[in-house]
Amino acid sequence: MLMQTNHAFENAEKTSEALHAGQSLSSLFLTSATETVPAGKAICWEGDKASHLFQVEEGVVRLHRIIGEGRRVITAFHFAGDLIGASLLNDFLFTAEAVTECRIRRISRKSFHEEVARSDALGPVYISLLCQEAAAAHEQMVLLSKKNAEERLCSFIVKLASRRSAQPRQGLLRVPMNRQDIADHLGLTIETVSRTITKLASRNIVVPEGRHDLRIVNLARLAQLSGDADDFSDNSCHRVKLH
């Protein structure tokens, strides 16, 4: 099981690196001034013309949509190094808000695409980024449609812990978003998120410490409960069922 768990985390790290392919495009943002965005403030709004792309320098950003009678669905979280608005669509399909105080840079969509088209090196990187965004959206769809509450929460914690910038120190993982954000991302109620964390703590798998820290006590068991720990073949880099 430990070897299988290591496979899962190695793949998660590779996925995280691929999702950060946008960092190769960072030079395009360097001439833009850094902007500070207070926690809770919107960077762009759903339905607005997508005239700019953004890069997160520091902090965490959530992307959300409003559906039905004002219900919020958080489709993704973005961290330092991530690009926001890379799609080819003319309008933003989401509102981007700062979870924590953030520092961002922006570049006009026109300038961005002109620079990418001009560079033989950046074209493939940009295409890779778009492919990874599509894959991440597919993974989120599978999580919401096929996993139960415990599997969703464990998957979320494993994915967060796999980020290089969030590697747990002495088992302590920083979780910048609040439980309502987590609930709206996982398609759960805040009560279910709290109840599931309490259940994991009672089994000594993950223990909350303060408002924004989780102590991961049993990493192998956490990965197993996510439903993704034993899905790799030693002889293949392809997934069997792991997202």
Place of tokens 């309502």: 180
Residue 231 has pLDDT above 50, yes or no: no
Residue 225 clears pLDDT 90, i.e. is over it: yes
Write down the pLDDT at residue 228.
76
Q: How far is CA 81 from CA 59, 125, 158, in A?
A: 10, 14, 20
Give the position of tokens 């403030």: 41
Directed axis angle between helix 179-186 and helix 190-202, to 10°?
A: 100
Distance CA 143, CA 146 (A): 6
209-223 pLDDT, tens digit per residue, is 988 999 999 999 999
* Topology, domain 2-13+146-225: Arc Repressor Mutant, subunit A (1.10.10)
Once rounded to an integer, what is the mean pLDDT over residues 47-60? 96
Which pLDDT score is estimated for 234?
36
| Cβ(62)–Cβ(77) below 8 Å | yes
DSSP 26: G
**Complete edge-to-edge strand list for the sheet that includes strand 61-67:** 42-44, 95-98, 61-67, 71-78
Contact 232, 241 (CB under 8 A): no
Token digits of residue 157 = 């914690």
Per-residue pLDDT, 169:
72
**What confidence tier does 166 reach under pLDDT thresholds 50, 70, 90?**
low
Instruction: Please tell me the least confidently modeled range out of 12-21, 110-119, 173-182, 194-203.
Output: 12-21
**Domain range summary for the chain, segments of one domain joined by +:** 2-13+146-225, 21-140
pLDDT of 8 reads: 45
Q: Which residues contact 210 (CB under 8 A, 6 or more apart)?
A: none
Q: Which is more confidently placed, 124 or 3? A: 124
Give 177 or 163, the one with higher predicted confidence.
177
Residue 230 predicted with pLDDT over 80: no
Note whether 34 and 66 are within 8 A (CB). no
- pLDDT at residue 15 is higher than 70: no
Q: Is the pTM of this model over 0.85?
A: no
Mean pLDDT of 129-140: 90
Mean pLDDT of the chain: 85
Annotation: CATH topology of 21-140:
Jelly Rolls (2.60.120)
Using DSSP's 3-state secondary structure scheme, residue 148 falls into: coil
